[in-house]
Amino acid sequence: MVQVVVVGGGWAGCSAALSAKIAGAEVTLIERTDMLLGLGLVGGIMRNNGRFTATEEGLALGGGCQLLKTADAEARHVNLDFPGHSHASLYDVITIEPAVRRQLNRAGVEIKTMRRVVEVVHDSGALEEVICENGEAFGADTFVDATGSAGPMGNCYQWGNGCAMCILRCPTFGPRVSVASRCGVQERVGQRDGGSLGTFSGSCKLNKDSLSAEVRKGLNNKGVVVLPLPRDLIRKQKLGMKACVQYAIAEYADNIVLLDTGHAKLMTPYMPVDELRQVRGLENARYEDPYGGGVGNSIRFLAVAPRDGALRVQGVENLFCAGEKAGQQVGHTEAIIAGALAGHNAARAALGLEVIELPRSLAVGEFLAITMEAMASPQGAERRFTFAGGEFFSRMKQRDLYTLDTEVIRKRVALAGISGIFDKDLT
C-alpha cells in the first residue's frame, strides 16, 4: 500500500491526513506539539459569510472536508450575527481537538505528536524522508507540508513585538521548520502596511471568568458582546496589521468585540492590559492566548510555498502543501478545504494517478486559484484571502458564488462532476 506522510497537525494537516487515508493510502501525521489543530485551538469561527457556501461545497466533496461537520458538531453557538458577519457558528475550542483526534484515530491515521521535523532527505527533485529532532525518520511515496507560516520566535521578535507566548508554544516544542524550505524551495513572504514582513494574528483569548458577570451572561446566552471603546482608546491603525482582513473594519477599531468559543475571543491583535481594563466589564480581564496579548501576537505568512493548482509544491514532484503554506489564506474553513485537496492529490500521486484541481465554477476552486495567482503578482504579498470577507468575499458575490441555498450548492458541485470525489477509495 502507498504511504503518505503529512507534516503539521493543524486543521490543514488533519484534513490532508484524513483525505489521503480515505483515498486508500497508509498515512502518518507528524505534529511537533502535544495537541493537534495548531491555531485552531484558539480559533472557532465557522460558516460566517462566504464560509457557509464553502462549507457546503466542501461537505459535498467529502474526504477531509468531513472535519467541517466535526466543527459543526462542536458548536457552542449557531446562526450568529456579529459586526460585519452573518450566520456564523462558533465551535468550542476546549472540545474540538479531542473530537478531531478521535475522528482521525477511527479512520486509521497514525498520529505522531511531539515530533519536530528538522531535516529532509531529497534527491533529483523528489522527497524521500523527513527526519525528526529525535532522529526518527519517516519515508513515504508522497508528502504534504502543512507546517504553516507562523513563528518561530525569532520572526516574532524581528517582525512583531516579541514572542507573545501563543498557542504554538515554540519555547516548549521548538520552532516550526518548513519542509518545502528544507527541500531548497524559495518560499514567499507576506507583507503588511508599511512594508513590514508577515501579519499579526487578528485575535486573542480572554479568560471568561476574569470578565464581569454581565459580560459572561451575554457571551453564554448570545455568543457575542460588543463594548464601545472610549475615544482615546481607539487605534484604527491596528486594522492594517491583521491577518484576518474580514475583521479589518471600523467596528473592530471602535469597539471591543467578544465571541464565545469557550474562552472569550477578543477580536483585536493585541491590546495593553491597562487599556483593556478601562472598558466596563473588563476591569479584571486576563489573557489566555497569547499570554502576552497585552503587547503583541504571533506573526504569520512568513513562509508560503510556490505551488500549482493541484497544491503540488513547485520543484518537488512528490510534495504537496496546504493551509497557510499554500497561500495567504485566512481561516479554518480555508485550511480544511485546501488540506482535503492536498491529501487526496498526495494519495493520487502515490498511486500513479493524475492529480486534480477544483474547478473555478465553485467558490472553493476559485479561492485556491486566486490565492495561487496572487502570490505571483507584484502586489500579492500584501493581499490576504478568506471566504468570510475582504476582497475574496466581494469576488464571490460579484461572480454569484455566494449562496445560502444548500440545494443550489449541491447541484453546483454535481454539475462539476465531482460530488463525493474525496470519498472515493482509489486503490
Q: What is the pLDDT of residues 190-217, one digit of tens each?
A: 888 777 888 889 899 999 999 999 999 9
Considering 237, 270, 289, which residue would you say is the last residue of a domain? 289
Angstrom distances, CA of residue 355 to CA of 309, 314, 358: 10, 14, 10
- The percent of the chain in helix, strand and coil, each rounded to the nearest 5, is 35, 20, 40
CA–CA separation, 373 and 97 (whole Å): 33
- For residues 285 and 251, membership in a common domain is answered with yes
Give pLDDT tens digits for 305-316: 999 999 999 999
Residue 294 lies in a domain: no
Instruction: For residue 98, tell me if it sits in a domain.
Output: yes
Where residue 35 sits, what CATH number does that domain have?
3.50.50.60
The answer to whether residues 357 and 397 belong to one domain is yes
- Grid coordinates in use for 22? 480515505
pLDDT in tens, 241-284: 545 556 666 777 788 999 999 999 999 899 999 999 999 999 99
Same domain, 284 and 304: no
Neighbour-count burial for 107-131, b at 16+ CB within 10 Å, e otherwise: bebebbebbbbbebebeeeebebbb
Q: Which domain holds residue 120?
A: 3-194+299-423
Burial of 146 (0-12, 13-18, 19+ CB in 10 A): buried
Does residue 68 carry a pLDDT above 60? Answer: yes
Looking at the structure, do residues 181 and 324 belong to the same domain, yes or no? yes
Residues 168, 85, single domain; the answer is yes
Is 239 in the same domain as 159? no
| Domain co-membership, 310 together with 361 | yes
Same domain, 78 and 8: yes
Number of structural domains (the chain) is 2
Residues 282 and 306 in one domain: no
Confidence of residue 385 (pLDDT cuts 50, 70, 90): very high
Q: Do residue 74 and residue 186 come from a single domain?
A: yes
Query: Are residue 67 and residue 174 in the same domain, yes or no?
Result: yes
Residue 283: all three cell numbers together: 476591569
Is residue 324 included in any domain, yes or no?
yes
Regarding whether 248 and 156 lie in a shared domain, the answer is no
pTM here is: 0.96
